[in-house]
Structure 1
Amino acid sequence: MNRTILFAFFFIQNLISAQFSERNLSSEKWQFKNSKENGWFPAKVPGTVHLDLMNNKVIPDPFKDENEKKVQWIENEDWEYQTRFTVSSKELKNQNIDLAFNGLDTFSEIYLNGRLLKKTDNMFRKWEIPVKSHLKTGENLLQVKFKSTIIAGKQLAQKVPFTMPESPRSFVRKAQYQFGWDWGPRLVTVGIWKDVKLSFWNNARFGNVKVEQKKLTKEKADLNIHAEIIAEKEEEYIVLINSRPFNFQLKKGNNTIQIPLAILNPKLWQPNEWGNPDMYDIKISLQKDSKILYDKNLRIGLRTVELVQEKDSKGKSFYFKVNGYPLYIKGTNWIPADSFSPRMTGEKYQYLIKQAKEAHMNMIRVWGGGIYENDEFYKACDENGILVWQDFMFAGSFYPGDEEFLQNVKEEIKEQVNRLQNHPSIALWCGNNEIDEAIVNWGYQKQFNYSKDDSLQIWKDYRKVFHELIPNTLKENLTADKNIYWPSSPSIGWGHKESLTEGDSHYWGVWWGEQPFEMYNEKTGRFMSEYGFQGMPTLETTKAMFSGNPDLNLQDPVIKAHQKHPRGWQIIDEYMKRDYKIPADFVKYNYVSQLLQARGMKIAIEAHRRAMPYNMGTLYWQLNDCWPVVSWSSLDYLGNWKALHYEAKRSFEPTIISVAETDKTYDIYFVSDLQSDLGIGSGAELSDINGKILWSMEAADHLKANASEKHFEIKKSEFAGFDLSKAFLRVYFDNDSMKQEKLFFFVKPKDLKLIKPNILVRKISSTEIEISTDVLAKDVYLLGDTHFSDNFFDLLPRTSKRIKLSKPLEKVELMSLWNTMMD
């Protein structure tokens, strides 16, 4: 029998024996229209009304020019979607037929053949409806009628006797960032934003399946498989776990079964740079009379995660212990990577997470104003060893606590944790972003003239949602090893001293408070889960803000429209004036704004890592963007590395050197995330801009594992006779297998007395170049439509550096900080 015939034979056999099948109705021909109008347009599912309007050339691209303003009318309209699909008489013979919408945004009515099936009110929930009795042989009409989120939200807000901040967004279970943020546009979408599926099944099927890790040792992993099974009638069934059969007598309706599973000599899922994120495949099948009724494939990782909070002399610790060892957390915050989530691809998710991995990160916090991300996001985190701090989708406002809202949220939490809990990357569930702080610190009570009873009601509603409903729902649906809950991030606002002695901290004294970058050296908490500074996107992404060829100018209204912080330019200019000379030229300004952002985050990250083990985590704001914008991101909307991402990669290396300046000394710290000690040689050299060594010292030493230590200090008096505006300190350590060095500058960049460097570029191959210089070249910036393996780097006098390119360039242009001194 040849391979083609063999394949056909098995395919037919599977069809004969299969008791479950599924059709993706997303691929049918969908149409949409404004409810006020008669004309229908072609639509794509999954999608959003904005994308459909763009595809039909009804509206311009909101990401370009000042078009965002031109599309605000969309949020106040009602919209309708429909498709026609056929069902065969054979399909109708199935015992059960379920229609499932995996995501509807947000207030909708679902009709099948003219009959109302369901009303929806939550973007984050799956809506599954038995439809066998509503279907007919031949053509069927499926309609979804969406109501304006704004109008629906305002109607809900009227039920509360006082004004709520951020109304109406806080009344609707929908991605909060769509209402506009200080990095994102206001694009309040509606639409069928996830797949629509029709499933046919007989006898029984699986519901949620979760894996409980009962005990994990080097010799064995003891697991329990918890499976929900929905059965048509009371009968005996066989459940196979990796082909091993288990018999069960099931009752009619919902059943919950439990099956033990052991894995001998288990390989652990390890976070990035601790080892491999090893995974195991588990196939679970439901069988009756030798026929497979239903299959599920699970991919799990074996690991332990603990959140350790213990009182000490300075407050209370806050750190993650992974696989039995304290892990210093290095990472960032994640926002939705597009304002229109349905056009996110698996490839883009994989790309963004791999850039985090390449920058030595081991955790990403999914911020609470976005969405519960696509499965591809968590799959990418699993595969790359990136732990996930998962916020629930509540951010920066007050939320109601009425019974209808609570029940809606309960179902949302239940569905999402059941969907996500088998991912080994999930480390912590967090109730919300900055709501505790908003209630306590943001002054809304005074702004909205709340009575004492109003304020009490807000606090009662807050506790109902985040201290009762969510943790109770987690306990009901999660296995014990996955249930780490933190009510609010941060736990204490940045204006309170306790925010730096316990819990997690969002420190915004830099940027919002306009404190100098050096304040990061003083304001270091136990776990820094948010802090940041803005920088411009790359030139390529800046140009993507325009529909035509732009004449780039800071005064251009398009550039201004893509800065969403009301004081953004003012704050950037104020900080730039402190540390750099402000260039008049746009390209140089773009370059310096990126240097400024990277400089601030370098100071912060080094301060946090030096404070280890007092501080055990640093997550800067933010990794990515949802559109082309001036923001806090290190990767711009097109995925290009800004200066910050190159700096994050350097600052997050497993070992770093950090110099802390005091009144009388320069204190030299060696920081290591390595899991074993190393013998090293170390030293320091004071050099001038030309590379002449003015002073030096050497020391034999050791590098302690998983620690930050002050290794030596240099008295300032040692350098009393030198002009430090023309000099830099190079500190290093090395051994036979590794080398680490750090350049420390004594004055701010604007006060450096730089000499024009003669920087040469030599082509090694089509995708590799060598950069060399005669004198110090500070902050070398390579320009071109390619990704450079390193950029925005310092190049020592009479040295060279090889750089790899992601694709060939005809010519590499460059500049250095010296160029900005000439404006």
Structure 2
Amino acid sequence: MREILLNELNWEVKGYWPWVPLKGTSMELGQELMGVTDWMPATVPGGVHHDLYRQGWIANPYEDLNSLSCEWVENRWWVYRMTLKRPELKGSRVELVFLGLDYEAAVYADHILLGEHKGMFDPAVYDVTELLSVREKLEISVLLKQAPDEMGQIGKTSATFTQKSRFNYKWDFSTRLVNIGIWDDVLLRIHEDYSWGEMSITTDAEVEEDGSTQVAGCIEIQAAVSSTSGAEPARTLTANITCSDPGGNPLLVQTLPVCAGAMLKTALDIPEPELWYPNGYGAQPLYCLELKLLDEDGKELDTRVIRTGIRKLDYIRNVDSPDNALPYTVVINGRRIYMKGVNMTPLDHLYGNITVEQYQLMVRLMKAAHVNLVRVWGGGIIEKQVFYDLCDANGIMVWQEFIQSSSGIDNIPSKQPEFLELLHQSARSALKAKRNHVAMTIWSGGNELMSEPNKPSDLSDSNLAMLKELVEQYDPQRLFLPTSASGPVEYISETKGQGHDVHGHWKYMGNPHHYELYGSNDNLLHSEFGVDGLSSLKSLEKFLGAAHSQPVSMENSAVWRHHGEWWDTLSRDEEIFGSLTDLAQFSACSQWIQAEGIRFVLEANRRRKFRNSGSIVWQLNEPWPNVSCTNVVDYYGEPKMAYHWMKQAFRPLHVSLDYRSLLLTPGTGFQGDVYVHGWEGESCEADAEVLDSAGRSLHRQHFITQGDRDRAVCAGTLKFTVPELEDQLYFVRLSFMNREEEPQQNVYVFSTAREHLYAPALALTGGNLQVRQENRWLPAVTGELSLQACFMVANTGSEALLHVHAEEKGNRYWMEADEQFLTLFPGEARMVTVTCTPRQAGGFLAGKNHSISGDLPVIQFKSFLAVQGTSKPDGGQENRE
């Protein structure tokens, strides 16, 4: 079988009123019924919204309130067309394949109906062999009916009737912007008389109990051989299987007879294999399998190439887990894996326009933040194939939900016959397509499905029992969880013994309640929680008009409400900082509280490793530019402060402080336990230092303890007396002392200000940031087009500089830095490595890109509320207050 991509042909699209394309001419007048639009160039894969925008039919829906004026698009019928020429390649059967039609389609060739299709996640495949045998070319047209009237976040799950992404219809992090179009690849498949059919690749490895010795590995292959021409059913063919090692060197070859219409089953024994591990636990070597199907004369009929990793996968219950709990701890190659996870929504409302480079950015950000698991959320989409390939290559375990989600009014899984048929179809398609990925780790029936309020649905629900049976049939090695959350209760609470896999909360819970709730919780798995925070000023200015550039409550601004209604943080942040009248100031304060809130939850959960099996932050990204949201990376690919503090909390080696309030009382004693995370074997030395805003060291303690890779170790208790001063900030800085590389530091900010806790931070004006670019921009290891430079940042002033970070001034590059949002005390300096990758985004984000050649990055350094330095492209540096 050979495949020819048809994406780049001259596709066009035209809009019509419903039913008009089927009628064509007026019954009364006999004249042609014209469309809503003219024929216009179309992007495939893509969606009609961006095509309309390029032709001036709609304004940019991501700006201000513009999306409200685009809701007519989902209510029209759309016809795509292109001319398909007969391919030069010959075969016994030619199939026209649409990997993603969104949503209800009829496909025609020269006005002959090839078939109808409903659903987003299973391919639409049509035999065009006979038509192409008698015609040099075909006009292929795809009629897409108006989008179904599905529910957004608020509705009744029991009434769900489609397998269309529901976040499109309005969610707390999105608007109503319902995609319609051809959202994945279109291709021709040219078959010989016989070809490979379904394939299932599983791997296993024998590992010593201590995980230290790799003994043997096995790659098991099941592959169907199908007749594509209706030819003789009993011909004996040859399967030639070559396995190459991760370096590309042929390792072993198998040659086996296989009968047409039969299933090939074989196993490849790999001595002393290189094992695949999640990010942070080891490398991700991938073996290459080439499966050739040959006829009696040695002619190649079909070839498939699959890359896979070898690992042993198990699941166990948590330490001290209740007997009725599910096995939430993943074990790979005999080693328990602590989940450091993120929840991922679709990258864009118009997911057909997402580029490979956007997926690469998201996976790169995950890996850099020490993330080892991503939950692909059930209210979104089953992602394109490239995403799962990237997860394989980067050690990001995948928790894939089937397309179901809660609805607020009721959350009961739908039992409607039409829905169950579509769910069965899309789930089976997903299982067959994703099971060969070594990163696939968990399947889940959907998001927040509940049989009654606060009670997660279980396998007594026939919908979820059906999905369980499908997983057992098509991917029996993976764990199936009925829903997320799962267990006795849905939401986190103070009640002990009830929290298995829990969700919540999604707000900073206030001081001290945030710390009391999360610091003493006993949940087994925290698979969804978050804290909201504003986007950066740089991003806000891209979608908010000048009239909306002042801090305001969502209640008082339709535009702000449209971009983040649920996530209004103004009152929260003014309670903590005092009056906020400047947008840059508001953004900086809001991001700080988001980062503080998320870090504490991550560290509190991690202190209970493996009683708690992991944390999965809600959410990594957003598909729509929000003023405020629970994401840690915004729509434009800009990591927020919370991303970097999450990255800190997920570090393999980490030291944390357990506290229950940010408020200190002058003249009283403070006590907080210091924990060491991830230290193996040898004696570990940690240092805790208490400083004031001028950088004076007020107290210092040294801790020595023995490390343990599989649990957090309490190294001792930090104790100090708070000075008799009101309205002061105090800093606790933790660091490892016996490491050769630059010490990792973790800084906590406390205050004695009772009225506005962090108001003293707004009064810090004595810091002075000096920035020097140490080298010219050079190609980075991360990619051919990426550039990298090092910057020395120093505080030459008299007070602490908070949250020192770099920002790329233009829109030409995605910028990543190894360290961000640092606290620099007077006289201190740190080296920061900055990597810039040309933005190559699709759809409406493409308008924010610039050419990938030309100007070098321009980096600006900031501290809390202030801009201090801007790099020059030639490697020089300006400095300014």
TM-score under structure 2 length normalisation: 0.81
Distance in 1, matches of 2:660 and 2:183, equals 55
Distance in 2, matches of 1:762 and 1:63, equals 35
**Residue number in structure 1 paired with 2:167:** 177
1:771 maps to 2:794: yes
Task: Give how far 1:245 is off.
Answer: 4.7
Taking the TM superposition and a 5 Å limit, the aligned residue runs for 1:614-629 are 614-629=611-626
**Residue number in structure 2 paired with 1:487:** 482
Distance in 2, matches of 1:211 and 1:784, equals 43
Kindly indicate whether the alpha-carbon contact (under 8 Å) linking 1:97 and 1:199 is maintained by their aligned counterparts in 2.
yes
Which of 207, 213, 235 aligns to 2:203? It is 213
Taking the TM superposition and a 5 Å limit, the aligned residue runs for 1:302-317 are 302-309=310-317, 312=320, 316=325
**Residue number in structure 2 paired with 1:16:** none
Distance in 1, matches of 2:527 and 2:859, equals 41
Letter in 2 for 1:262: D
Kindly indicate whether the alpha-carbon contact (under 8 Å) linking 1:510 and 1:517 is maintained by their aligned counterparts in 2.
no
Distance in 1, matches of 2:106 and 2:441, equals 36
Distance in 1, matches of 2:732 and 2:265, equals 63
Task: Give how far 1:401 is off.
Answer: 2.0
Distance in 2, matches of 1:802 and 1:690, equals 21
Distance in 1, matches of 2:744 and 2:426, equals 48
Q: Which moved more, 1:690-699 or 1:361-370?
A: 690-699
Distance in 2, matches of 1:311 and 1:732, equals 29
1:801 maps to 2:830: yes
Structure 1 residues 302-330: Cα deviation after superposition (integer angstroms, max 9, x where no partner): 11232322683767473222211111111
Structure 1 residues 94-128: Cα deviation after superposition (integer angstroms, max 9, x where no partner): 32121211111111112222222222111111111
**Residue number in structure 1 paired with 2:298:** 290
Task: Give how far 1:399 is off.
Answer: 4.5
Structure 1 residues 152-172: Cα deviation after superposition (integer angstroms, max 9, x where no partner): x59xx9xxxxxx935898211
Distance in 2, matches of 1:654 and 1:167, equals 40
1:780 maps to 2:809: no
Kindly indicate whether the alpha-carbon contact (under 8 Å) linking 1:339 and 1:626 is maintained by their aligned counterparts in 2.
yes
1:814 maps to 2:862: yes
Kindly indicate whether the alpha-carbon contact (under 8 Å) linking 1:504 and 1:528 is maintained by their aligned counterparts in 2.
yes
Letter in 1 for 2:270: I
Kindly indicate whether the alpha-carbon contact (under 8 Å) linking 2:687 and 2:737 is maintained by their aligned counterparts in 1.
no
Q: Which moved more, 1:608-617 or 1:484-493?
A: 608-617
**Residue number in structure 2 paired with 1:161:** none
Letter in 2 for 1:30: W
Distance in 1, matches of 2:557 and 2:16, equals 34
Q: Which has the higher helix share?
A: 1
**Residue number in structure 2 paired with 1:271:** 278
Give the alignment's Cα RMSD to 1 decimal: 3.1
Change (3 A) 1:628 1:515: farther
Q: Which moved more, 1:591-600 or 1:760-769?
A: 760-769
Distance in 2, matches of 1:652 and 1:609, equals 9
**Residue number in structure 1 paired with 2:401:** 391
Distance in 2, matches of 1:105 and 1:399, equals 23
Distance in 1, matches of 2:290 and 2:495, equals 48
Specify every segment of 5 or more residues in structure 1 that has no aligned partner in the other structure, as ranges: 1-19, 158-163, 444-457
Task: Give how far 1:278 is off.
Answer: 1.1
Which of 697, 707, 727 aligns to 2:701? It is 697
Kindly indicate whether the alpha-carbon contact (under 8 Å) linking 2:319 and 2:611 is maintained by their aligned counterparts in 1.
no
Distance in 1, matches of 2:510 and 2:830, equals 39
Secondary structure of the 1:412 match is helix
Secondary structure of the 1:110 match is strand
Change (3 A) 1:725 1:678: farther
Structure 1 residues 708-753: Cα deviation after superposition (integer angstroms, max 9, x where no partner): 122212446x447676935333333321435344333332423569
Secondary structure of the 1:312 match is coil
Q: Percent identity?
A: 23
Distance in 1, matches of 2:125 and 2:598, equals 46
Distance in 1, matches of 2:759 and 2:462, equals 53
Secondary structure of the 2:237 match is strand
Letter in 1 for 2:832: I
Taking the TM superposition and a 5 Å limit, the aligned residue runs for 1:625-644 are 625-629=622-626, 630-644=628-642
1:366 maps to 2:390: no
Distance in 1, matches of 2:637 and 2:321, equals 44
Change (3 A) 1:405 1:818: closer
Distance in 2, matches of 1:594 and 1:207, equals 51
Distance in 1, matches of 2:200 and 2:471, equals 13
**Residue number in structure 2 paired with 1:708:** 712
Task: Give how far 1:374 is off.
Answer: 1.1
**Residue number in structure 2 paired with 1:256:** 263
Change (3 A) 1:763 1:225: same
Distance in 1, matches of 2:858 and 2:514, equals 39
Letter in 1 for 2:445: G
Secondary structure of the 1:653 match is coil
Distance in 1, matches of 2:320 and 2:501, equals 16
Structure 1 residues 24-73: Cα deviation after superposition (integer angstroms, max 9, x where no partner): 33332222222333332222221212122122221112112321000011
Distance in 1, matches of 2:816 and 2:220, equals 46
Specify every segment of 5 or more residues in structure 2 that has no aligned partner in the other structure, as ranges: 18-33, 208-213, 243-251, 662-668, 752-756, 777-788, 810-814, 837-855, 868-881
1:382 maps to 2:389: no
**Residue number in structure 1 paired with 2:734:** 731
**Residue number in structure 1 paired with 2:448:** 434
Kindly indicate whether the alpha-carbon contact (under 8 Å) linking 1:726 and 1:754 is maintained by their aligned counterparts in 2.
no
Change (3 A) 1:461 1:56: farther
Distance in 2, matches of 1:686 and 1:537, equals 31
Task: Give how far 1:426 is off.
Answer: 0.9
Task: Give how far 1:501 is off.
Answer: 4.5
TM-score under structure 1 length normalisation: 0.86
Task: Give how far 1:462 is off.
Answer: 8.3
Distance in 2, matches of 1:811 and 1:249, equals 60
Paired positions, count: 762
Taking the TM superposition and a 5 Å limit, the aligned residue runs for 1:545-584 are 545-546=543-544, 552-555=549-552, 559-565=559-565, 567-569=566-568, 572-584=569-581
**Residue number in structure 2 paired with 1:591:** 588
Which of 3, 6, 9 aligns to 1:28? It is 9
Task: Give how far 1:229 is off.
Answer: 1.2
Change (3 A) 1:430 1:514: farther
1:760 maps to 2:769: yes
Letter in 2 for 1:485: F
Q: Which moved more, 1:354-363 or 1:664-673?
A: 664-673
Letter in 2 for 1:440: E
Task: Give how far 1:607 is off.
Answer: 1.1
Q: Which moved more, 1:727-736 or 1:651-660?
A: 727-736
Distance in 2, matches of 1:811 and 1:365, equals 33
Distance in 1, matches of 2:142 and 2:403, equals 24
**Residue number in structure 2 paired with 1:281:** 288
Task: Give how far 1:552 is off.
Answer: 2.1
Task: Give how far 1:496 is off.
Answer: 6.1
Q: Which moved more, 1:261-270 or 1:320-329?
A: 320-329
Letter in 2 for 1:40: W
